Amino acid sequence: MTTIGFIYPDHAAEDDYPLAERLLGQRFPVEHIYGTDLHAVPELLDLGSPERLKEGAGLLAKHEPDAVVWACTSGSFVYGWEGARKQADQLAEVAGVPSTSTSFAFVEAAKALGVRKVAVAASYPDDVARLFVEFLGAGGVEVLSMSSAGIDTAAEVGELSPEAVVELAVAHDHPEADAVLVPDTAMRTLGVLGAIEDRLGKPVLTANQVTIWEGLRQAGAPVASAELGALFRDKGN
């Protein structure tokens, strides 16, 4: 059994991880770090700082993870491509195992599925959502359309109903997009992935989904599942 450790900011949708444990038969311990949950650039830069991630890695050490992931999209892409790479490298150094972040997980997942053009259905305010678009572009993923729901805090995102999550994704598709990307690990998405993909007829990549997938990939232990969307249907991805 593979153990992937997740550093999760505050509290919102972390119950997606025990759900994934049950579906995939792996260990996904989650440890929390705390800061403001405001979706604003200064606060996000603080949330993803080396000091906070070092604290998270220390909390995960007792679980002896095979890989560690900073389970926060905005707290990684807000640093830009090079800054996020440095963030992940520093995390790997303190954790002593392969490490990455949700932002890089989106890019790797898109590559695995052969996705080149996407629509982004973001919960963030517009200025933060645009930084995600820039990050994806740096990773070779073209964004055809971007929506921003303008939700200011992670706590509010965590309160979205399953129906609201489905509608957020479905309503912001683009007809020429290969996939729809739904960032924000504060959003519960694992339980509705099938419903969204059935409605859209194309792959959907969500923050907690790609975070878990990339953690397993970093550990060299891909796992297939029929319940976690197109990304998990082929364990060879």
Rounded distance, CA 192 to CA 57, Å? 30
CA dihedral 80, 49, 123, 106 (to 10 degrees): 50
121-154: b (≥16 Cβ within 10 Å) or e: bbbbbeebbbbbbebbeebebebebbbbbebebb
Model pLDDT for residues 128-147, shown as the tens digit of each residue: 999 999 999 999 999 999 98
Q: pTM of the entire structure?
A: 0.94
Average of per-residue pLDDT across 15-19: 97
The encoded tokens of residue 205 equal 């990549």
- What is the pLDDT, as a whole number, of residue 237? 54
pLDDT of residue 212: 98
Helix axes 80-95, 126-138, angle to 10 degrees: 80
Per-residue CA distances from 102 to 7, 42, 145, 185 (Å):
11, 19, 20, 8
Query: What strand order describes the sheet that includes 99-101?
Result: 30-33, 4-9, 67-70, 99-101
pLDDT at 75 over 90: yes
Torsions phi, psi for 7 (to 5 deg): -95, 115
Task: For the chain, list the domains and their CATH numbers.
Answer: 4-104+209-232 (3.40.50.12500), 112-206 (3.40.50.12500)
- Asked if residue 73 lies in contact with residue 183, where contact means CB atoms within 8 angstroms, the answer is yes
C-alpha pair distances (Å), 171 with each of 10, 24, 35, 151, 199: 28, 29, 31, 16, 10
Decide if pLDDT at 27 tops 90: yes
Strands 142-148 and 117-122: parallel
Confidence at residue 35, expressed as pLDDT on a 0 to 100 scale: 81
Which residues pair with residue 236 across a beta bridge? Answer: none
Range name among 34-43, 129-138, 185-194, 206-215 with the lowest pLDDT average:
34-43
Helices vs. strands in the chain: H and E counts, helices first: 11, 8
Whether residue 235 is predicted with pLDDT greater than 60 in this model: the reply is no
Please report which confidence band the pLDDT of residue 100 belongs to, taking 50, 70 and 90 as the band edges: very high
> Can you give the pLDDT at residue 130?
94
* Average confidence (pLDDT) over 75-96: 97
What's the sign of the alpha-carbon dihedral 104, 107, 110, 111?
negative
Per-residue pLDDT of 47-57, as tens digits, reads: 899 999 999 99
Residues in the chain: 237
Instruction: Tell me which DSSP letter residue 237 carries.
Output: -
- Cα–Cα distance, 85 to 72 (Å, whole number): 14
Alpha helices, DSSP H only, in 15-60? 16-24, 41-47, 50-60
Task: Quote the mean pLDDT of the chain.
Answer: 94
